Structure 1
Amino acid sequence: MSARLAGRRAIVTGAASGIGAAVAARLAADGARVFTADVKGAVDFVADLTGADANQNLVAAAVAAMGGVDIVVPCAGISAFHPLEGHEDAYFQRVLDINLLAVFRLVRAAVPHLKAHGAGRIVTIGSTTSTFGDEGLCAYAASKHAVLGLTKSIAAELGPFGVTATCVQPGAIDTPMTAPAFTETPAYRDFWENKAPLRRLGRAEDIADVVAFLCSDDARFVSGHGLWVDGGAMARH
């Protein structure tokens, strides 16, 4: 790997597995110091990031450990199929708290440090459902639409300080979170493999590579929009 992120200091949440773990590994391979967080696992900061002060405490711990923060990549998230009929308020709120509110709080806490760097990077993790909907995913799609909108607003507000904000929108990615759906319903796996012109599910590393690019100086003029990383699946939506 390159050293294009040498000297950069990153916070990555959801880093114990899946996309978050792949992102943390890729940023480190590119030379960044990475401070990891998750609700469990072998990470630097263990916490439920839906807590009111959790993200403020996370940023403080990262700054204490690394001397600052230049990159923020909130990867923590949840998803499960819930039909609209009988959909519980509590589950809907839980998805919003993890997928949206925690992202907002983390970025808000990191803003002074990102401004201080002068070329800070924020990369959120949306979904193809940030643009489209899908049956059984009301809460998830709502949260990911909101993440994309949040990212665009952040980009507009922080751009004058040299900070970029982009939203990576994964398609069907084979991770520990999605694996049960693909395993229990082979037809679902076949659908997404065949929908993508590249004829496979995505891997966590496919997302991590794009995140690393967006965190680098190569993406210094890329901000304020979502980027599908889906093997071309949505081009055939």
Structure 2
Amino acid sequence: MSFYPDAFSLKGKVALVTGASYGIGFALASALAEAGATIAFNDINEDFLAQGLAAYEAAGIKAHGYLCDVTDEPAVQKMVAQIEREVGTVDILVNNAGIIKRVPMHEMAASEFRQVIDIDLTAPFILAKAVIPAMIAKGGGKIINICSMMSELGRETVSAYAAAKGGLKMLTRNIASEYGAHNIQCNGIGPGYIETPQTAPLRTPGHPFNSFILAKTPANRWGRTEDLKGPAVFLASSASDFVNGHVLYVDGGILAYIGKQP
């Protein structure tokens, strides 16, 4: 058997990607599907779920969609059990669902802070907890947490998000530490600034934020969702069986670079 491409094949695997109706989650799930995995995904919004199912169908991908709030532990347990019955045991979990609230910390309500922590940090704990027992019974599994450059850096107005993503980095390391002996690898992907419909207004030529990002990025461009596909397949496949507790930053070099001199 040849190492390439067999080590990167996901044939016969079931992947659950949270919040994957569109954007980065959709790109990650599509990459796993292209490598052979069967895709299950969720959304909290019924309209987005339907749009996601239509988008996968248009891309030639048979995906299984579930309406679920990832912060609701009983609902998550019910969803995972339903996936096991209808699709199969989850071999790959991608904790992608998340939110950000851009509010100066001294103006942010504690309820807003808790909401970000709940979705961006507590939900990955709930999802991982739900799939780990079956992974142990099956002899292994892959968990990929979508971290952030804010797992390493602070910035104005993102106190809750940075706290959550920093915590997610450490949850990633702890899952690796606690379950590595069961052949479960837990790693993170830290996207840089990515071209999505949400960032389109910021990417217009001459926009101060666009100029700021380009000056901070050695690659001198925004990332594309396609840039995340290879890292996702690598971390989901047997090619990464001895990679555990690592966060792979896909940021065009931002974290390595002090930036251009003004």
TM range (shorter): over 0.9
Instruction: Please give the alpha-carbon distance, in whole angstroms, between the structure 2 residues aligned to 1:182 and 1:142.
Output: 26
Residue identity opposite 1:232 in structure 2:
G
| Matching residue of 1:198 | 219
- When residues 226 and 61 of structure 1 are mapped into structure 2, their CA distance, relative to the original with a 3 A threshold, is same
**Aligned length, in residue pairs:** 236
Unaligned runs of 5+ in 2: 54-64
Residue pair 1:128, 1:171 contacting (<8 A) in 2 also: yes
Distance in 1 (alpha carbons) for counterparts of 2:227 and 2:79:
27
Structure 1 partner of 2:32: 27
Partner letter of residue 128 of structure 1?
Answer: M
Structure 2 partner of 1:145? 166
Structure 2 match to 1:117: 138
- 2:103 is the alignment partner of 1:82: yes
What TM-score do you get using the length of structure 2 for normalisation? 0.85
User: Deviation digits for residues 180-221 of structure 1, max 9, x if unmatched?
Assistant: 5556x9211221122111111112221232111110111111
Question: How many Å separate the matches in 1 of 2:125 and 2:103?
Answer: 24
| Aligned-residue CA RMSD (Å) | 1.8
Q: Confirm whether residue 64 of structure 1 aligns to residue 85 of structure 2.
A: yes
Query: Secondary structure in 1 aligned to 2:17?
Result: strand
Question: Are the equivalent residues in 2 in contact too, given 1:194–1:200 (CA < 8 A)?
Answer: no
The match for 2:190 among 166, 169, 192 is 169
**What whole-Å deviation, never above 9, does each CA across 1:4-43 have from its counterpart, x for those lacking one?**
0001111000101111100111101100011111112235
Partner Cα distance (1:93, 1:175) in 2: 26
1:33 is aligned with what amino acid? T
Q: Percent identity?
A: 40
User: Structure 1: how far apart are the matches of 2:87 and 2:14?
Assistant: 7
Q: Specify the code of the residue in structure 1 equivalent to 2:29.
A: A
Is the contact made by 1:19 and 1:208 (CA closer than 8 Å) also made in structure 2? Answer: no
Say if 2:69 and 2:76, in contact at 8 Å, map to a contact too. no
1:88 and 1:234, CA in 2 relative to 1: closer, same or farther beyond 3 A? same
Contact 2:15 2:37 survives alignment (8 Å): yes
Q: Distance in 2 between matches of 1:54 and 1:19?
A: 23
- Cα 1:82–1:179, aligned 2, differ >3 Å: closer, same or farther? farther
Cross-structure match for 1:17: 22
Q: Which amino acid aligns with 1:31?
A: G
Pairwise CA distance, 1:85: 2.0
Give, in whole Å, the separation in 1 of the partners of 2:234 and 2:104: 36
Name the CA distance, whole Å, in 2 between partners of 1:149 and 1:122: 14
Q: CA deviation at 1:177?
A: 4.2
Query: CA offset at residue 67 of structure 1?
Result: 2.1
The 1-side partners of 2:111 and 2:210 are apart by 29
Q: Which one-letter code corresponds to 1:24 in the other structure?
A: A
Match among 121, 124, 130 for residue 100 of structure 1: 121
Residue 24 of structure 2 aligns with an amino acid whose one-letter code is I
- Residue deviations 1:25-69, cap 9 Å, x none? 110110001111111223510122222322212211211122211
State the alpha-carbon separation in 2 of the partners of residues 178 and 75 from structure 1: 17
Letter in structure 2 aligned against 1:13 = T
The 3-state SS of whatever aligns with 1:121 is: strand
Cα distance in 1 for residues equivalent to 2:202 and 2:184: 37
Partner SS for 1:5: coil
Instruction: Kindly indicate whether the alpha-carbon contact (under 8 Å) linking 2:40 and 2:83 is maintained by their aligned counterparts in 1.
Output: yes
Computing the radius of gyration from Cα coordinates, the structure with the larger value is 2
